[in-house]
Amino acid sequence: MNKTLLVKLKVNGEWIEAWAPERQTLLDFIREELNLTGTKKGCGAGDCGSCVVLIDGRATTTCTLSVSKVQGREITTIEGLANGTHLHPIQEAFIEAGAIQCGYCTPGMVLQAKDLLDRVPDPTEQEIKEAIDGHICRCTGYIKIVEAIRLASRKSKKVGAGIKGGLKP
Ligand code: FES
Ligand code: FES
């Protein structure tokens, strides 16, 4: 019998409760129960990075992670990054650098960049490449994605507000 459980999570700044099949992945819970479809399903095996969200601030793949393992944690999806109609500086940087083509990898890449820049505000090119190592992009060739993350780092220094400035309070 497929058991259900009551899931309680903080998602994009708000506590939510929802019933879910006990073995449902966090990815399917986010997309199907919460209807937050910005998080993408690619390989379904933890190898492509398209399903990355922030869990307690750290970039984490969600396609093999059971929702039962993240009770009470804080989740940020790509929908939680912009502040109203204002894009987060990392999102702006991806657009300005031309780092988005089909966009399928972009939510995971942007959230991975947020994790990196929150910990390392001025990363080297090597640190950026290592951070996005687990993400597959079929379109851009990665060079513009690395440029976008460097641009986001410069933007955050310029405004002096830190890269967290675009997050909802
Ligand atoms: S869909 Fe999760 S890593 Fe590919
Ligand atoms: S922009 Fe298409 S997969 Fe990255």
pLDDT per position as a tens digit, 35-63: 999 999 999 999 999 999 999 999 999 99
Q: How far is the CA of 13 from the centre of ligand 1 (A)?
A: 24
Residues 73, 66: Cα–Cα separation, whole Å: 13
- Report which of 34, 58, 59 is spatially closest to residue 49, judged by C-alpha positions: 59
Which amino acid is located at 63 in the chain?
C
Ligand found nearest the CA of 48: 1
Residues 157, 155: Cα–Cα separation, whole Å: 5
Q: How far is the CA of 157 from the centre of ligand 1 (A)?
A: 32
Question: What are the structural domains, with CATH classification, of the chain?
Answer: 4-80 (3.10.20.30), 89-159 (1.10.150.120)
Q: How far lies 123's CA from each of 105, 112, 142, 155, 156, in Å? A: 21, 13, 16, 13, 12
pLDDT at 28 > cutoff 90: yes
Give the pLDDT confidence of 63-83 residue by residue, as tens digits: 999 999 999 999 999 999 999
